[in-house]
Amino acid sequence: MRAYKVAILLILSVLTGLARAELTIEITQGMDNPTPIAVVPMAWSGPALSEDVSGIVEADLRRSGQFRPIPKTDMLSFPRTEADVFYRDWRVLGSEYLVLSRLSQTPTGGYSLDYQLFDVLSQKKILQRNVTGGPNNLRDLAHAVSDAVYEAVTGIRGAFSTKMIYVEAFGNEKFRLMQSDADGARERLLLESRQPIMSPVWSPDGKQVAYVSFETGRPAIFRQVLATGERQQLTNFKGLNGAPAWSPDGKKLALVLSKDGNPEIYTLDIASGQFTRVTKHFSIDTEPSWMKDGKSLTFTSDRGGKPQIYQVTLASGRIERLTFEGDYNARARVSPDGKTLVMVHRHNGVFHIATQDIASGDLRILTETHLDESPSIAPNGAMLMYATKHQGKGILAAVSLDAGVKFRLPSKEGDVREPSWSPYY
Amino acid sequence: MLSTGLKKSLTLALIMAALAGCSSTSTTDQDSSANDAMTGTAQTTDTSSTDTMEEAPVLDTIFYFGFDQSSLTADARATLTAHAAQLKAAPRSVRLEGHTDERGTREYNMALGERRAKAVRDFLVLQGVDSTLIETVSYGEEYPASMGSNESAYSQNRRVELK
């Protein structure tokens, strides 16, 4: 048994070296009492794998801030099946939950992963499932386990299988639109340009992205199909063409045009190409975001002198101011449950990410970093990703909506910014 | 930064714009200030060549702004008045690129950069420059002139560049 354990640890340490992602996670703050969980190294009798599956599950759960994985070196045994489980071994370690997994090869060259979740205190199996994938889907299998475990324990759907897009800049010379897993792994280049790329955003079905590119010498809004790379330029007006935001049904984009003199919010019906003007005011109106019912938008406006968040009802054109605390509130996004506004808030001259309860108006600052911007909420509403500066470099960071959990994803290369968290798809 | 192809097409656009300026003088009769500008344009284009443009005194082409401001400084006004005189004497297409510092949200800064570029455009037009020769483009905080996150970098980044 011991020799077996050492062998697994050796393989694990080799794998950790191989599976280097461009963005690596540094947890800066966790919950006070995260749930202890033991993720036993996956049982597998085949040749060395390209990914450390149980290590990915552990990292996912740790990053959520809700769990404290038990170190493998502390484990007294590595059970392969339910029959091998001695609950006492896990109670001694203080572990409340136990995850077992076993990988096998499918006839088509893919993988099949069986996994089980046990409640150590009540000595019960609470989950048993199987997930399959192709030869290059080991990370997806791992994230599927994390999602199921997270949901079984917290009651909240996991978001480990989701993705993000973001902009990476190399000085003023080169700009890239990148896609990666939610943990920063498996980076993929979507677009490279010598001109700025801005404001990337997912379509609600997760199949397309929209963004602003300056490749024509002026800002213009494009959409791009992720599977094929096919692109379409959607706007080409004089002045600003910016801040695209997909409607919840995916049929429209809210966006900003200044063709009539100053920045105004418009909607674009994508199929017909028809633009409808939403706001009409001599001040700056920008950064539209859809409310969940698709019937109104939030937007940033300095019509009151300083930038604040407003809400406009599309059918009536009625406008209501939502933020009153502080002299700079901008770029709001609404949480998936529709109850919370997330935005950039200036406090004592420093830019932070803040939430505002829509019903009560209560504002709370979530971040302590400086120059925080571009918050994007995970589809389960548990965490948000934002852009900040760390040691003079643009990086991505994340914070839970209750501010209890914080982590950073520093980039080894360029300045990383404008994260957009994918929907479930 | 510009490719030769782009330069050629810009030169062509410039010539065409100058010609357009001439023809509009003969056909339109607008308000007095615009008219003055047009007349000035028409009188000088006849004799102007690339030579006269090269002989013009070299003026500052970057104009700086205060934090969260889009109003022109006295220095900027003086320099822009001289630019306006040159542009009236030898009309050419100009591009005004508005920029902000990195503080605040990116799309809001796009709007601020545009506001700055338009403040410069409006001043030039008030001085009699043909508005159809002026293009404004905002880059927001996307093209900082100085990369630092401090006040001296910020003050260099809040700018409009005349090109």
CATH of the domain at A350: 2.120.10.30
Among chain B residues, the shortest Cα distance to A237 is held by: B137
Mean per-residue pLDDT of chain B:
77
CA distance linking residue A246 with residue A333, whole number of Å: 12
Fold type of domain B4-162: 60s Ribosomal Protein L30; Chain: A; (3.30.1330)
- Name beta bridge partners: B63: B160
Residue B45 predicted with pLDDT over 60 = no
My answer on whether A30 and A90 are in the same domain is yes
Both tokens of A400, joined, read 């839970």
A399 and A264 within one domain: yes
| Chain B environment of A214 (Cβ under 8 Å) | 139, 142
- pLDDT over 90 for what percent of chain A? 88
Instruction: Name the one residue in this structure whose structure tokens are 């190399």.
Output: A170
Q: Tens digit of pLDDT for each residue in A65-122?
A: 899 999 999 999 999 999 999 999 999 999 999 999 999 999 999 999 999 999 999 9
pLDDT at A176: 97
What is the token pair recorded at B102?
């990195």
Tell me what pLDDT residue A26 has: 76
Torsion angle of the four alpha carbons A138, A143, A148, A153, in this order, in degrees rounded to the nearest 10 = 130
Select from A154, A188, A207 the last residue of a domain.
Answer: A154
Of A18-27, A215-224, B29-38, give the range with the top mean pLDDT.
Answer: A215-224
Test B114 with A330 for CB contact under 8 angstroms: no
Check CB contact of A243 with chain B, cutoff 8 Å.
yes
Q: Which two tokens stand for residue A110?
A: 């893919």
Yes or no, beta carbons of B102 and A243 under 8 Å apart: no
Write down which residue in A134, A154, A174 finishes a domain: A154
Residues A129 and A270 in one domain: no
pLDDT score at B56:
62
**Chain B residue with minimum CA distance to A263:** B111
pLDDT over 50 (residue A15): no
Interface size between A and B, measured as CB pairs under 8 A: 81
Nearest residue on chain B to A302, alpha-carbon basis: B108
For chain B, give the percent of residues with pLDDT over 70. 66
User: A322 and A417 share a domain?
Assistant: yes
Question: Residues A211, A172: one domain?
Answer: yes
What is the distance between the alpha carbons of residues B162 and B71, in angstroms, rounded to a whole number? 16
| Residue A228 sits in the same domain as residue A283 | yes
pLDDT of res. B27: 35
- Give me the mean pLDDT over the A380-389 stretch: 96
**Confidence at residue A23, expressed as pLDDT on a 0 to 100 scale:** 65
A216 in the same domain as A138: no
Same-domain pairing of A149 and A167: no
Domain count across chain A: 2
Mean of the pLDDT values across residues A377-399? 94
Tell me: do A13 and A133 sit in the same domain. yes
Query: Looking at residues A124-131, what average pLDDT do you find?
Result: 97
Q: Given this model, what pLDDT does residue A229 score?
A: 95
Residue B122, φ and ψ in degrees, nearest 5: -60, -40
Chain B hits for A418, CB-CB cut-off 8 Å, are: 106
How many CB atoms are located within 10 Å of the residue A92 CB? Answer: 12
Give phi and psi for A370, each to the nearest 5.
-105, 160
Q: What is the pLDDT of residue A27?
A: 73
Condensed to tens digits (0 to 9), the pLDDT of residues B108-128 reads: 999 999 999 999 999 999 999
> Mean pLDDT throughout A323-344?
96
pTM for the predicted model, two decimal places? 0.85
Cα separation of the two ends of chain A: 41
Does residue A16 surpass a pLDDT of 70?
no
Residues facing residue A269 across a β-bridge: A252, A274
Do A197 and A128 belong to one domain?
A: no
Q: What is the pLDDT of residues B119-156, one digit of tens each?
A: 999 999 999 999 999 999 999 999 999 998 999 999 99
Query: Does B111 sit within 8 Å of A219, measured CB to CB?
Result: no
Q: Give the mean model confidence (pLDDT) for residues A245-254.
A: 98
Residue that finishes a domain, picked among A154, A182, A208: A154
Is pLDDT of B31 > 90? no
Band of residue B12 on the pLDDT scale cut at 50, 70, 90: very low
Same domain, A68 and A147: yes
Task: Please check the confidence at residue A420 and state whether its pLDDT lies above 60.
Answer: yes
pLDDT band of residue A346 (cuts 50, 70, 90) is very high
- Conformation bin of residue A338: beta by default, left when phi > 0, alpha when psi is -120 to 50: left
Domain that holds residue A219: 163-421
Q: Are strands A124-133 and A163-170 parallel, antiparallel or unpaired?
A: unpaired
Count CB neighbours of A398 within 10 A.
Answer: 26
C-alpha separations of B61 from A190, A261, B45, B92, B96 in Å: 36, 24, 23, 15, 10
Which amino acid belongs to residue A55? G
Together in a domain, A119 and A197: no
pLDDT, chain A, mean: 93
